[in-house]
Amino acid sequence: MRMRSRPAGPSMVRSTISPIGAARPPISSMKASYPVRASITVVCSIGGWPLRASSRSSHWVRPSSVRPSTTTGGPARILIQAIGMRRARLAALPCSSRAISLNGMTRSYHPHPPLWSLGRLDRLGPPMAEATPDGLADGYASELRREIMRSEIQRVQVLAVVLGVLLVVTLTAVNLLPGLVRSMFHGGLTWRVPLAVIGPFALYELVVLVVLRHRAAQDKDFSRYARFANAFVETSMPSAIIFVLSHHMPAEAVFGFWPPLIYFVFILLSTLRLDFWLSLWTGVVAAVQQFLLVWWFVPLEFITDVPAHSLTYNLSRSVVLLGAGAIAGIVAGSLRRQFETSVRAAAARDRVTNMFGQHVSPAVVDRLLASQTDPPSEMREVCVLFLDIRGFTAQTRTRSASETVALLNDFFAEMIDIVDRNNGIINKFLGDGFLAIFGAPLADPKAAANALAAARGMLEAVDRWNKARPQSTLRVGIGIHLGEAVTGTVGSPQRKEYTVIGDTVNLAARLEQLTKETGSQLLVSSSVHRATTGADGAIDLGPLPIRGYDEDVRVWKVV
């Protein structure tokens, strides 16, 4: 689908959002989150000369990041920031604000293969932050496949460098030390021999490296069968060198020379595949090929005084290679399990952060992770705090979008820190205000006291802010109420959010709004006043009419 803004004046912002991959279901059948390819093109004119800058990215669009609505009032870089695209090239362009319609944005389910089915060429899954209890394995498997691909690329890079150095050293010795070469090889050795043997393998590794990087850039996996075939080809390189050298020098000397040692290089690097069976397969190929070459070129005897002709001696060499492959497989499996543990822990932490928002204190996250279960849906006593910046909308008219966002970020950073220190969580940001919860999702018998302490800390922080920034003074209104509310996670399987619902939330919001009429900064309900000693000295404003309530509500002004 395409969404275009209407050009107004010399500047225009055009955005295109389309599904990734072929054979996608119709738009009408799309239901869950799915990867899209989004491009933003900003066209501006300066002095009559058009300038164009484009940004293109494949990513997962989150419902919380780009909502199916019309975004207005901000420059193009705000939209680009919202959908997680790089905006460095666009930030410098003097483009005016435009309305960019995102109506009708839909999402479709994108299946993933099982965790251990790494042979499919599916696109990789959503980021870990989007993982839900049902989709946790998908995001985990996707991240694991990415890590395996990165390790594979690293392994091939090392092999390409090793083969390149080996080829250069061999060619240099053949050309600069002809006497030494003639003494070691029958009739000498021309430069064509190492080039014909090592060169194709070095070129093969370069081709594999290009293919791997291309598939990684396309977010595609690498076939498991191709991995085994690649391991066979790579491990056959020392065998090819041994086969060629056995025609230029005594076979017994070849097996005591350096080519058989290269088997261990391939076995060692196989640990980067993070697959026990691939490492074991590498050891098996090395052991079998070396023994077959010995059997072909060396007359073996079961009992002999010459170790090089001993069947037991040469068989033990192959057994060592097989054992090295098994040990490398154990190491690879251990590395994989450690990575799996790290990814699962990160996925669980991201799931908590995704459910409760990014502004949850580390202590709360750790306690939620320790419980290992989602918070139940229940009726519980919570203390709700609403904060709103007074007159901030009018201030935005004299500031640019970037200045407005920067000011809010700086201010909220202090407020979030205060809430965290008092065992609360920021549940929602509401433009120039927010909703904070105390006593949920973790029970807190001092929820009201902590909420009041947080509110006092916020007012003190506002005073410090105004003294330090006389050109950007702010006024706030805070309302707090303690009572029972329904708590739990709501949303779809793809996106859930922890929330509180009920009259407690509504009354706290009404108290915050009432601060405008009473000229107060902090109002609390009677339940908060009774539950705290910090409210001593508060001024009783008496029962006041509250919009939406039939009876007046007793309100206290805290100074």
For residue 361, is pLDDT > 70? Answer: no
* pLDDT mean over 107-132: 34
At 474 the three-state DSSP class reads: coil
Which tops the pLDDT comparison, 13 or 407? 407
Whole-angstrom distance, CA of residue 249 vs CA of residue 171: 18
Per-residue pLDDT reduced to its tens digit, 74-102: 333 333 333 333 333 333 333 333 222 22
Whole-angstrom distance, CA of residue 421 vs CA of residue 401: 30
State residue 444's pLDDT score: 85
Give me the residue label for tokens 């990734």. 20
User: Got the DSSP string for 380-433?
Assistant: EEEEEEEEEEETHHHHHTTS-HHHHHHHHHHHHHHHHHHHHHTTEEEEEE-SSE
For residue 213, is pLDDT > 80? Answer: yes
pLDDT tier, 43 (very low <50, low <70, confident <90, very high otherwise): very low
Domains along the chain with CATH numbers: 2-101 (no CATH), 136-344 (no CATH), 366-557 (3.30.70.1230)
Least confident interval from 162-171, 349-358, 456-465: 349-358
For residue 136, is pLDDT > 60? Answer: no
At 179 the three-state DSSP class reads: helix
Please give the single-letter amino acid code of residue 55: S
Least confident interval from 46-55, 197-206, 327-336, 369-378: 46-55
3-state helix, strand, coil in the chain (%, to 5): 50, 20, 30
> Is the alpha carbon torsion for 79, 81, 83, 87 positive or negative?
positive
pLDDT tier, 256 (very low <50, low <70, confident <90, very high otherwise): confident
Scanning 298-400, the segments in alpha helix (DSSP H) are 311-356, 362-371, 392-396
State residue 427's pLDDT score: 83
State residue 525's pLDDT score: 93
Least confident interval from 23-32, 62-71, 415-424: 62-71
State residue 183's pLDDT score: 72
State residue 312's pLDDT score: 86
pLDDT tier, 211 (very low <50, low <70, confident <90, very high otherwise): very high
* pLDDT mean over 432-461: 91
State residue 159's pLDDT score: 87
Per-residue pLDDT reduced to its tens digit, 6-42: 444 444 444 444 443 434 443 334 444 344 444 444 4
Whole-angstrom distance, CA of residue 301 vs CA of residue 433: 87
The phi, psi pair for 359, rounded to 5°, reads -105, 55
Least confident interval from 54-58, 197-201, 476-480: 54-58
Per-residue pLDDT reduced to its tens digit, 313-344: 889 999 999 999 999 999 998 888 887 777 77
State residue 340's pLDDT score: 79
Compute CA distances 406 → 359, 370, 556, whole Å.
17, 35, 34
For residue 430, is pLDDT > 50? Answer: yes
Q: What count of other Cβ atoms lies within 10 Å of the Cβ of residue 70?
A: 12
State residue 187's pLDDT score: 63
Whole-angstrom distance, CA of residue 116 vs CA of residue 88: 39
State residue 231's pLDDT score: 92
Structure tokens at 69: 């609505």
pLDDT tier, 294 (very low <50, low <70, confident <90, very high otherwise): very high
The pairing of strands 12-19 and 2-4 is antiparallel
Percent of residues, the chain, with pLDDT higher than 90: 28
Could you tell me which of 288, 279, 292, 282 has the C-alpha nearest to residue 251?
292
C-beta separation of 63 from 99 below 8 A: no
**Cα 533 off chain centre by:** 45
Verify cis geometry, omega within 30 degrees of 0, for the bond prior to 441. yes
For residue 465, is pLDDT > 90? Answer: yes
At 22 the three-state DSSP class reads: coil
Whole-angstrom distance, CA of residue 381 vs CA of residue 482: 7
Residue positions counted in the chain: 559
pLDDT tier, 119 (very low <50, low <70, confident <90, very high otherwise): very low
**Cα 405 off chain centre by:** 25
User: Got the DSSP string for 245-268?
Assistant: HTTTS-HHHHHTSSGGGHHHHHHH
At 183 the three-state DSSP class reads: helix
Which tops the pLDDT comparison, 32 or 403? 403
Per-residue pLDDT reduced to its tens digit, 174-207: 888 887 777 777 666 788 888 888 889 999 999 9
Per-residue pLDDT reduced to its tens digit, 487-539: 877 767 666 677 788 899 999 999 999 999 998 999 999 999 988 875 667 88
Whole-angstrom distance, CA of residue 6 vs CA of residue 15: 11
State residue 434's pLDDT score: 93
* pLDDT mean over 34-63: 40
Specify the DSSP element, H or E, that contains 288.
helix 276-297
Specify the DSSP element, H or E, that contains 470.
none
pLDDT tier, 140 (very low <50, low <70, confident <90, very high otherwise): low
